[in-house]
Amino acid sequence: MPPASSPQAGSAPAPNPPAPEAPGSGWTFSGHPVHSLRQAPERPEGPAILLVHGFGASTDHWRHNIPELSRSHEVHALDLLGFGRSAKPQGLAYGGALWRDQLMAYVEERIGRPTVLVGNSLGGYAALAAGAALGERAAGVVLVNAAGPFREEQATPQGWGAISRRTIGAALLKSPVLQRLLFENLRRPATIRRTLNQVYIDRTNVDDALVESIRRPSLDPGAFGVFRTVFDIPSGQPLDELFAGLTAPLLLLWGIRDPWINAAGRRAQFQRHAPAATRELVLEAGHCPHDEVPAPVNAALLEWLATLPATARP
């Protein structure tokens, strides 16, 4: 799996950065309002880009990426149903299938041409699932510390010890009272900041704006209902099956010091299962390198986008 060449940050900015299109453009998915935004220069290069946030985040988490990427490319970002400024309806089957279908519909209805899907964490899983399902309509997929299980990780635990630990833990977390207490604690600004400080190695960008972007959606009436579904979200299609069905080029971006997913071990799993032509970039960063160290991430994305086949360009 050949690595991407080391990008150089600090390129000169364009003199007139594009103005953002009005957010919340009225698009709905399955009858539910979805918050989205678009920025693009007058003559965009290459394929369109769709940015997909992780769990508990939103389009705001791409604050350091959209301005730079949209100097040359048509850039879209959306809030997955259940998160950010998008609707949080009760009764939806929240999980990979819902978000995959949401991304596919957005590409088809709002972008209308081959698109590179870029996803962080849970958004990485959704982007990969959508990219595999879109076929030729996916110009590429970029996974930034992506979440999701491999087939071997979905095996049922063996032995009474493993079964009882899983059963007892699940029973406790299914208690509505405990879930509510956990939710109230997790959405406190101090808790949000403490959690971010655990997963950002360089904490420069753990600022009030980032904390507020995570806290604000948690105040929506449906937020607790979405949070409760986390404990019942099915594991979804294994990553190795999705990789096998992916025909688009793939780029893996790693914050290798991510304490949440054991990035070094997970990278080895990805190398075993990802397509042979996959490219990689490893950064000294945590779970959200696109926000923690945006300059090298942006540079790597732009460099890789320039290598895509001409068929992916306008």
Cβ proximity of 35 and 84 under 8 Å:
yes
**CA count, 13 A, side-chain hemisphere, 2:** 6
Q: Is the pTM of this model over 0.95?
A: no
pLDDT value for 152? 81
* Residue 85 confidence (pLDDT) above 90: yes
Domain extents in the chain: 28-155+234-312
Cβ proximity of 57 and 214 under 8 Å:
yes
Provide the 10 A C-beta neighbour count for residue 157. Answer: 12
CA distances from 247 to 16, 136, 139, 169, 277 (A): 36, 7, 9, 39, 11
Q: Rounded to whole angstroms, how far apart are CA atoms 117 and 142?
A: 6
Mapped onto helix, strand or coil, the DSSP state of residue 98 is helix
Q: Rounded to whole angstroms, how far apart are CA atoms 290 and 7?
A: 14
Beta pairing partners, 174 = none
Antiparallel, parallel or unpaired: β 279-283 and 250-255: parallel
Question: Among 156-165, 224-233, 282-291, where is mean pLDDT lowest?
Answer: 156-165
Each residue of 121-164: pLDDT tens digit? 999 999 999 999 999 999 999 999 999 988 887 765 555 544 44
| Reduced 3-state DSSP string for 65-120 | CHHHHCCCCCEEEECCCCCCCCCCCCCCCCCHHHHHHHHHHHHHHHHCCCEEEEEE
Cβ proximity of 252 and 143 under 8 Å:
yes
CA distances from 167 to 163, 164, 176, 230 (A): 6, 5, 16, 16
Q: What percent of the chain has pLDDT over 90?
A: 69
pLDDT value for 23? 45
Each residue of 190-206: pLDDT tens digit? 999 999 999 999 999 99
Could you identify the residue written with the tokens 């709002």?
110
pLDDT band at 249, cuts 50/70/90? very high
CATH of 28-155+234-312, one of 1.10.3470.10, 3.20.20.150, 3.40.50.1820, 3.20.10.10: 3.40.50.1820
Mean pLDDT of all residues in 207-213: 98
Among candidate residues 230, 281, 188, the one with its CA nearest the CA of residue 54: 230
**For residue 268, what are the contacts with CB-CB under 8 A and spacing of at least 6?**
none
The DSSP letter of residue 37 is E
Q: Which residues of 77-112 are buried (b: 16+ CB within 10 A; e: fewer)?
A: bbbbbbbbbbbbbeebebbbebbbbbbbbbbeebbe
- Sequence letter at residue 111: I
Each residue of 31-75: pLDDT tens digit? 999 999 999 999 999 999 999 999 999 999 999 999 999 999 999
pLDDT value for 211? 98
Mean pLDDT of all residues in 81-100: 94
